[in-house]
Every structure is written in structure tokens, then in C-alpha cells.
Structure 1
Amino acid sequence: MALFLSTFVNRIDKKGRTSVPATFRAALAAGAFPGIVAYRSFTSACIEGCGMDFMERLSDGAQAFDAFSDEQENLAALIFADARQLPWDPEGRVSLPEDILAHAGITESVAFVGKGQTFQIWQPDAYKAVEADIRAKALTSRPTLPLRPKPVAGA
């Protein structure tokens, strides 16, 4: 399973090309698709990114909704219809489409933000503001994260 860690800021050229961080490419190397999947976030002014395996898991999860229900149709439109398969070139770059760049307000540089099994692509200053807000809330709420038990060897 791909695991995306850390935050990396890279330049973006006039053609919308940017380098995918080497550690992100390495996390995706075992996947069947040599690149990333990206779609406009429906909760933030950023781009959601992942590998094809994660998209397949999302598709499997969408089967929990009744076929042709409003929930299933909305999910399909928000994620699957908007998703782009973006292969990397020999230099490890992807070309981000204009509409998703505009959604995130990205023009000169991008921040790749690791989120565990997924990542986001932000306009760097916008992410700094969001990160500051997240940290301020965390100081107040002190969130916790349960750890799954380690599997027992031989079980």
C-alpha cells in the first residue's frame, strides 16, 4: 500500500508540469499505473491525489450505496467523473490540467502534502494558512488516533 509522508514544494512550469516528489513516486512504483490520479477536492481548494489502487478501493466502497441513488450518483460525479490519470514523464513530472489548477489557485508552485494513503496538492501559501488553522485547533481539541493492534505472527 502506498504511503505518502511529508510536504514538498515544487515549481510548476507554464505548461502545468511539476515534479512529483521522489518518495511519492517510489510509493506508487508497485502500482499498475505509472503516475498519479488527481481530482478536484470537494471539501477544500486543493487537488486530491492518490494511486490507482486507492481509487479501486473507493470504487469498491461506493458499492455500499444503492445503484443509481443520489448518493451514488453524486459520489461518481464528484470523484470518478472528475478524476484524471496523470502519467509521469521520464523526468518524474506530471501535467496538471488547467481546470484543476484553477480550482486550487495554483500558478507558480505547488505543495504536495502527504496524507497517509492519499495526498493533496495545494497552492503553498494557501496550505500554510490551512496548516496553521489545523494546528491551532489541534492544540485545543487534542485529537487522538487509535492504533490497530499488530498482527500476531502465524495467525
Structure 2
Amino acid sequence: MARRFRGEYTQKVDGKGRVSIPSRYRRVIEAGDPDCTGGKPPEFIIVYGDERRKFLECYTIESMEALEDEIDALPAGSEERDVLETIYHGHSMEMSLDDTGRIVLSKKLRDKLGIEDEAFFIAKGTTFQVWKPETYDAVKKAKTEAWLEQQPEDFDPRILLSRNRSE
């Protein structure tokens, strides 16, 4: 089984847009890049999406290839395939980690998210997301907390997993 991203981190962003990828994430990026050999820097994919998307979604090379295989399986010319190709091919970019584990978030990406001096990284298993910390708190964290508040006091989230198992 492929390694997975875990944890959340707030990282400093300098004036040139340089930010360190959390070290635990770097190991997963390296493991998910089959070409990361012989001193070649590990690469991954950032999907920035359209204007509605308030975060960057980051994939290892292997996880993006698996997603691309699913997109390729859709009927050629279908609206679904066209939309997914636009999002995951057109609104994405390849990134390389430098030898200190940093990347440069372009001005375009920083402006899109409103990132100035900090970026919030949150693991999503096979991917991780990058947010402006305040946006994450206002959008995603608030939504998760509101949903959890609707659950019984003794709610165990693992019950959601059993709903997906065949009986």
C-alpha cells in the first residue's frame, strides 16, 4: 500500500513565495515519485483549479497517474471527461522540491489563496491541501465542526466506514 500523508502544519512563506513542505510530507512525495533517483529532486503535482477552489490540492506522481487513469477511462468527448481534464491537467502544475525541501508558490497561487506570510497544510491521505490559515478555519474547519456538533455526544466516526462495506 502506498504511503499516506498525515497531520497538519502551518509553515512560514517568505517574500519570494518560498515555503518548506513538511518533512513528513516530503517522504511521501519521494516515495510516490518513481523517477526520484540518482539525485533527481522529488516531484509532485499541484492542482489549483478554478476561482471557486480556495485551496491547492497536491498529489504524488503516482496518485496523480492513478487519477489520470480514471479520467482516461471516461468516454472520449464526454462533458465529465472534459471538465476533469481541464481541472486536473489544465489547472495544475508540476513542482520539484529543492534540496532543502522547499517549493516556490508563484505570485499567481499566493494571490489566488490570499497567502502572505503563512500557509496551512492539511493531510488528506493520498493528497494534501494548502490553504491560507484563516480561510481554512472559516471554511473547512467550521464546516467539519458544525457537522460533528449535529452528531450524538458518543458519536464514533468509524461508523461511517461500515456504511461503505459490502455485507
**Aligned partners of 1:133 and 1:62: how far apart in 2?**
29
Match of 2:143 in 1: 133
1:35 aligns with 2:50: no
In the alignment, does 2:161 pair up with 1:146?
A: yes
Unaligned runs of 5+ in 2: 37-41
Query: Once structures 1 and 2 are overlaid, which stretch shifts more, 109-118 or 64-73?
Result: 64-73
State whether residues 49 and 91 of structure 2, in contact with CA within 8 Å, keep that contact through their aligned partners in structure 1. no
Which SS does the other structure have where 2:115 is aligned? Answer: coil
Deviation string, structure 1 residues 92-124 (Cα, Å, up to 9, x no partner): 001112222222221211011001111100001
Distance 1:140 1:41, change over 3 A: farther
What is the Cα-based RMSD across aligned positions, in Å?
2.0
- What is the deviation of 1:86? 0.8
- Which residue of structure 2 aligns with residue 124 of structure 1? 133
Structure 1's consecutive aligned runs of 4 or more residues displaced over 3 angstroms after TM superposition are 41-44, 141-145
* 3-state secondary structure, aligned to 1:120: strand
1:18-48 CA deviation, whole Å, 9 max, x = no partner?
A: 0000000011222225033111145631111
In structure 1, stretches of 5+ residues that fail to align are 150-155
Instruction: Give, in whole Å, the separation in 1 of the partners of 2:147 and 2:14.
Output: 35
Looking at structure 2, the residues matched to 59 and 107 of structure 1 have their Cα atoms a distance apart, in angstroms, of 32
In structure 2, C-alpha distance between the alignment counterparts of 1:128 and 1:51, rounded to whole Å: 25
Task: Please tell me whether the aligned partners of residues 25 and 35 of structure 1 are also in contact (alpha carbons under 8 angstroms).
Answer: no
- Residue of structure 2 equivalent to 1:69: 78
* 2:5–2:126 contact (8 Å) kept in structure 1: yes
Aligned length: 149
Which one is further off, 36-45 or 80-89? 36-45
The equivalences for 1:44-123 within 5 A come to: 44-123=53-132
Q: TM-score, normalised by structure 2?
A: 0.80
